Amino acid sequence: MNKELLRNILPAARMIFGKHTKPAIITYQTAENGNAESAIQQVNSRYVKIIDESEEKVLQQLRKAKTDQCEYILFENDGIAAISDSKRGTDQLLYNLFPDPNGQSAQLTNNETIINTRMNDKIVIITGGAQGFGGGIARELFAWGANIVIADLNEEKGMEMAETLNMQGGRNKAVFVKTNVADPVSVASLIDQSVLYFGGLDAIISNAGILRAGGLDEMTPETFDQMTKVNYTGFFYCAKYASQVLKKQHTANPDYYTDIIQINSKSGLKGSNKNFAYAGGKFGGIGLTQSFALELMPYKIKVNAICPGNFFDGPLWSDPENGLFAQYLKTGKVPGAQSIDEVKKHYESQVPAGRGCEVKDVVKAILYAIDQEYETGQAIPVTGGQNMLK
């Protein structure tokens, strides 16, 4: 079974094996020749064996297997995929076949806190999910019941985030996939790994971003290129590879809606003095959002951007060493300010809502974008009144 076929089949299978309007979770595991089949026979479970290499024929076989209530898909000589309504369910099914040789439990918990929301058992990739806005979004969506893929360059913080979430032990799971959004091969591999782990995708949140401020005299071509690659081109790579999976799901279930969301910025709506490399990339992100939205709505894939105001409590602003407040205090950017707190108060006073943007504000906008079926191509401001649409 070639990798591409697997990548095409699992998202379609997820829709085929779904119950009512809810797609299934499918987890793939490689297995030694013959091992998986004898293990399934021992536990007396139903399975469908895929021998064919034609996508159409495989899908026909899977449709029939659904009526036979199969719990496993066996890819001969390759591996096995377990089908359930939750990630905990697929882990349990795989554990039944291959118990841990050291006798350890599969870390499966029975913490069945099912919150009845539209995020329950959804599969969401968050780039830059190790810290800052992305980390906060990961925590909140996980608490809403979503399975989370944390895609970040920072291995240490990304693993830590996934482990912390998994310690809460529910039906859903978080996984870290080391990713560089500026590298198309890395983003393609992120999407493949997410499909093997969960079976498909409901939303990708393109959040990873970097900020290197500077006017025309200071900005080097290298820094400009680097920012453009992460903030602008990275969004293209996410949309390109994620949409391939979302389209496969749409073919199998044309009524199902999915999402591509970019975390943009208020700097994507209004120019930013001596910060053009950032603002330019973010403006571009809104052009991509609108254009992807037009191209993908026929597949019921919505594409929206969320434009937060300044996240004063995040590391970008509040890091005591390198945060913007510390830098602005050092360079005297706010006349008369004697402390970090005074610099912060100065910036807060510029927001009609009187405070910085917080993770909870951004998450409300994300939930709105996902919940709404009749809106796409929008740039949703979350700026406490600092930016108002014309």
Ligand X SMILES: NC(=O)c1ccc[n+]([C@@H]2O[C@H](COP(=O)([O-])OP(=O)(O)OC[C@H]3O[C@@H](n4cnc5c(N)ncnc54)[C@H](O)[C@@H]3O)[C@@H](O)[C@H]2O)c1
Site residues for ligand X per CB under 6 A: 127-128, 130-134, 152-154, 179-182, 207-210, 230, 263, 265, 308, 310-311, 314-317
Minimum gap (Å) between residue 97 Cβ and ligand X = 34
The token pair that represents 6 in the structure block:
């697997």
84-88 long-range Cβ contacts below 8 angstroms, 24+ apart: 84/24, 84/25, 85/19, 85/22, 85/24, 85/25, 85/121, 86/25, 86/121, 86/171, 86/172, 87/25, 87/27, 87/121, 87/147, 87/171, 87/172, 87/173, 87/198, 88/170, 88/171, 88/172, 88/173
Q: Measured from the CB atom, is 132 or 284 closer to ligand X?
A: 132
Contact 320, 326 (CB under 8 A): yes
Q: Which bin fits 226, alpha (ψ -120 to 50), beta or left (φ > 0)?
A: alpha
Q: Measured from the CB atom, is 89 or 209 closer to ligand X?
A: 209
Minimum gap (Å) between residue 172 Cβ and ligand X = 21
Minimum gap (Å) between residue 232 Cβ and ligand X = 11
Minimum gap (Å) between residue 286 Cβ and ligand X = 13
Q: Measured from the CB atom, is 210 or 213 closer to ligand X?
A: 210
Minimum gap (Å) between residue 314 Cβ and ligand X = 5
Q: Measured from the CB atom, is 28 or 237 closer to ligand X?
A: 237
Work out the angle between the directed axes of helices 87-97 and 35-43 (0-180°, nearest 10). Answer: 100
Contact 274, 229 (CB under 8 A): no
Q: Measured from the CB atom, is 170 or 356 closer to ligand X?
A: 356
The token pair that represents 131 in the structure block:
């810290």
Q: Measured from the CB atom, is 94 or 150 closer to ligand X?
A: 150
- 203: helix, strand or coil: strand
Contact 231, 285 (CB under 8 A): yes
Return the amino acid letter for 377: G
The token pair that represents 245 in the structure block:
């999976």
Contact 134, 126 (CB under 8 A): yes
Closest CA to 326 of 341, 314, 306, 348: 341
Minimum gap (Å) between residue 323 Cβ and ligand X = 10
Contact 212, 223 (CB under 8 A): yes
Q: Measured from the CB atom, is 132 or 280 closer to ligand X?
A: 132
Q: Report residue 106 CA to chain centroid gap.
A: 25
Minimum gap (Å) between residue 45 Cβ and ligand X = 39
Q: Measured from the CB atom, is 247 or 364 closer to ligand X?
A: 364
Q: Measured from the CB atom, is 249 or 267 closer to ligand X?
A: 267
b/e code 32-46 from CB counts within 10 Å (16+ = b): eeeebbebbeeeebe
Beta bridge mates, 214: 275
Minimum gap (Å) between residue 190 Cβ and ligand X = 9
Minimum gap (Å) between residue 185 Cβ and ligand X = 13
Q: Which residue is nearest to ligand X (CB)?
A: 132
Q: Measured from the CB atom, is 66 or 274 closer to ligand X?
A: 274
Minimum gap (Å) between residue 310 Cβ and ligand X = 4
Q: Is 104 exposed, middle or buried (0-12, 13-18, 19+ CB in 10 A)?
A: exposed
Closest CA to 307 of 261, 341, 373: 261
